[in-house]
Amino acid sequence: MHDDYALLTGVLDEQALGPFEAGKTLAHELASVCKRGDDHLGEARERVRGLSDEEILAATRYLTVRFHLLNKAEQINIARVNRERERAATPDRPKPESIADAVRELSSRGVAFDQAMRLLGGLDIQPTLTAHPTEARRRTVLYKQHEVAEAVECARDPRATPIEVAQADSRLHQIIELMLLTDEVRAKRLEVLDEVRNGLFFLSTSIWDAVPALARDTIEALRASYPDGSGAVSMAELSPLVRYRTWIGGDRDGNPKVTHRVTREALSMLRAAAVARYGEDLLRLRHELSVSDRRTVIEPEILAENERWAERFAPEDQELVHTTREPMRVRVMQMRERLARDEAYTSSEMLRELLQLRDALDAAGARESAHAGLLGELIHRVRTFGFHLATMDIRQHSKVHEHAVGELLQRAGVHEGYADLDEAGRCDVLRAELAQPRPLVSAWAELSEQKREVLDVLTVVRGVRTREPNAVRTYIVSMTHDVSDMLEVLLLFKEAGLFRRREGGGYESDLDVVPLLETVDDLDRGAEVLEELFSDPMYREVLESRARAEGVDADAFQELMLGYSDSNKDGGYLMANVALHEAQRSLAGLCERHGVAFRLFHGRGGTVGRGGGRANRAILSAPPSSLNGRIRFTEQGEVISFRYALPAIARRHLEQIIGAVIEGASGGAAGEEQDDRFALVRGFAERSMRAYRGLIDGDEFWSWFTFVSPVTHVGGLPIASRPVMRAGSRLEFENLRAIPWGFAWIQMRYLVPGWYGMGGVLAEAEDATLERCAELYRSWAFFGTAIDNAQREMARARLPIARFYAHEHPDGGVFHERIALDFDLARRAILRITGQSELLENEPVIARAIASRNPWTDVLNLMQVELMSRARAGRADELRPAIFAVINGLAAAMQSTG
């Protein structure tokens, strides 16, 4: 990594583009002061105070590009290390945390081949791309970083000729020149469809390529670990290991720009992107399937299909001249024509036709080409992506449904004051109306525009599902507090024709209704709410219909979503972790008692404060009862661009997740839960929540936070279509979303959401209790992961820098000292629990990376402090571009936003 970084920064420092030369010199001078130690930070601060706005901006731009290059060098190094580990792997010692490693473990534990195949066939892993505003980089910058990686790989390729190396070096100079001359911050805020395009970029490139690569990895793993039984396994038969979901264009919670028209267009864009990629694959397949009817007998099904579509989807005459004796090639050409021209063509039809080609090739004796080549790869992709590419979720806040239902009931003359009813009264009204076959309001003609929009999006969903049922399958209810929050959505479904009573009796829903449990209280009460729902005969029939639709081997099915961001914002780091863990355990137990198959959906963010960290470790630290092979998790903002920017990293990310899910579903995770452990940690968590709430609910805290942090500027940063506030325009804690809350703490280098509240609680513990914690750290994956994630965030924090922000406020020292005290106490306790002498002693590579970044990041922080000070003096509008630039630079430096 150091060689790549030296190469890239060397090219950067060779640039002499006007004001960037001065910016480069300033950045190096200031970083050298910061490198002398924390005692010299005041000197650096004074030097920054004397700089002009233009000098600060020039240095910021230089440092931002420098961090972009460092981040790309780290990605390239990760991919290179992974390749080296793959080369060193053997069938007996596969690469750690891989599919091969997980399958080898199955075999070594005596799991038979048939059992292993059933387990793999039952995997249900669904990464979910979201448009949450945590990616500060423009798409053009992401493209340039991708080009940097390609040029570095070429320059480092031992097979490259001297001319090729020189060309790669020239290309690096070109890209870095252009990066210095490119605006880091967008001129205007992203629109929703821009976000859709960003998601499509990754879905149609690295993700598209990773899916068949993972299938090949799985087949090779089976052959290595089960040499006697896996010969017949092929890509054409293997069930999809991952299927992608997306919220982009469907998540309307707090985003008025996501209208039913936008959702319709987003769904069309997903289909168009899938069709375009399939068109490319079919073109390749056409060149490959040159099977002549003079050399083999062609299956009659192929000939019949060719005859059936000969007139409607005939290729150009010139193309047919050369394929008269190649019926399979003609078949592929017809499919490609139909794909481009027939709106009614479905993925299920295309899959049927591809399987016919597979069988025909098989019958002709070309088994390897039928199952493992381009055809097998295309069959696997169609099973994975369909024509929808990624299944879209619809998400809306429970309050919106309440208001819409209230108006429907009032317009229909059913009830004048639904909102005034208690929970029992609401449920009675809803159940009675769900049992009625008639709609409440004819054609919704008299509804207000806002309420009509709720139903219009459901009409869009119903329309697209007639062609591609997997295009939309789930409706998520944000802030689910009560049973009525779920029943209200079913009533809206009924109005839109998505919920009905079957002719043979019983109720069915075309979509899963998914509760999103977000606050600590909702997580604690989640099992109680679901208990009532599962005991409701009508809702039980809905769950039975969803089990049939999902194809699960169970009588009923329910998806359950857990919110990591708001639970952290609500209760602090440790309480959120404990509440989430206990919710998973209680919900899994509830589902087992009621015979309901379930899939947990983890609403994880990129930062530790929002559930971030290594996904495979998070999976294996979950309660064993929740590890059933079905899982969803969100991929957000900068997490998407990091994990999917390079195909090799995308593949590594996914193989780690698949391996962890295999291990968990097969019983390879930790054993039974122990209640005494929960009693201890729950006690810590409750006291840590009191400490956390004591900080953020304290007098003057909010005025201090909004004064010293960049939160007000973050709200104006044009990085996403969604506002930073859930409702209203006032900047209040209750309205502020979890992402900008975390973003602001990261920018100041406090990182409070990732650790605060643990210090005082652990410091109060007796020696015997801390010894018990040390034992739990070693033996309990959940507690070990929670401690390690906290120490990672604490290692990234820089309280000597944060102090400069705090002391901008006249009384800022009070809050800084309070935070610093908890930090110091938490640090001492974590070192004792882990047995380390320094934070991150167990992850020295990360520790060294943080230390090497700090002086350069410190410079950006000091410049941000100065710019905000000048803005408070009445120059906010004038300095907005510079403040946005330094926010962007710090996001690159910290590799995270919120």
* Residue 177 contacts residue 17 (beta carbons within 8 Å): yes
Integer angstrom CA distances of residue 297 from 287, 354, 874:
20, 18, 83
Of the candidates 358, 340, 339, 359, the one whose C-alpha atom is nearest the C-alpha of residue 349 is: 339
Q: Is 673 helix (H, G, I), strand (E, B) or coil?
A: coil
Q: How far apart are CA 841 and CA 838, in angstroms?
A: 6
Partners of residue 10 on adjacent β-strands: none
Q: How far apart are CA 57 and CA 867, in angstroms?
A: 10
Q: How far apart are CA 205 and CA 207, in angstroms?
A: 6
Q: Which of 569, 581, 594, 809 is catalytic?
A: 569
- Chain-centroid distance of CA 784 in Å reads 23
Q: How far apart are CA 517 and CA 543, in angstroms?
A: 19
Of the candidates 216, 213, 226, the one whose C-alpha atom is nearest the C-alpha of residue 104 is: 226
Residue 526 neighbours by CB distance under 10 Å? 23
Of the candidates 171, 116, 106, 117, the one whose C-alpha atom is nearest the C-alpha of residue 144 is: 171
Of the candidates 604, 598, 599, the one whose C-alpha atom is nearest the C-alpha of residue 634 is: 604
Q: Is 132 a catalytic residue?
A: yes
Q: Return left, alpha or beta for 397; rule: phi > 0 is left, psi -120 to 50 is alpha, else beta.
A: beta
Those residues with Cβ within 8 angstroms of residue 585's Cβ, 6 or more apart along the chain or in another chain = 623, 625, 626, 673
If residue 780 lies in a helix (H) or strand (E), which one and from where to where?
none
Q: Are strands 596-603 and 124-130 parallel, antiparallel or unpaired?
A: unpaired
Q: Is 397 helix (H, G, I), strand (E, B) or coil?
A: strand
Partners of residue 391 on adjacent β-strands: 245
| Paired tokens of 191 | 């629109």
Q: Is 157 helix (H, G, I), strand (E, B) or coil?
A: coil
Q: Which of 24, 68, 132, 451 is catalytic?
A: 132
If residue 516 lies in a helix (H) or strand (E), which one and from where to where?
strand 512-517
If residue 75 lies in a helix (H) or strand (E), which one and from where to where?
helix 53-88
Q: How far apart are CA 301 and CA 298, in angstroms?
A: 8
Q: Return left, alpha or beta for 622; rule: phi > 0 is left, psi -120 to 50 is alpha, else beta.
A: beta
Torsion on CA atoms 824, 826, 829, 835, rounded to nearest 10:
-90
Q: How far apart are CA 602 and CA 516, in angstroms?
A: 10
Q: How far apart are CA 786 and CA 789, in angstroms?
A: 5
Q: How far apart are CA 246 and CA 196, in angstroms?
A: 9
Residue with tokens 């390609």: 150
Greatest alpha-carbon span in the chain: 90
Of the candidates 301, 248, 241, 253, the one whose C-alpha atom is nearest the C-alpha of residue 102 is: 241
Q: Are strands 507-509 and 499-501 parallel, antiparallel or unpaired?
A: antiparallel
- Chain-centroid distance of CA 840 in Å reads 26
Of the candidates 570, 464, 477, the one whose C-alpha atom is nearest the C-alpha of residue 529 is: 477
Q: How far apart are CA 576 and CA 322, in angstroms?
A: 66
Beta strands in 611-692 (DSSP E): 630-636
Q: Is 260 a catalytic residue?
A: no
Q: Which residues are catalytic?
A: 132, 569
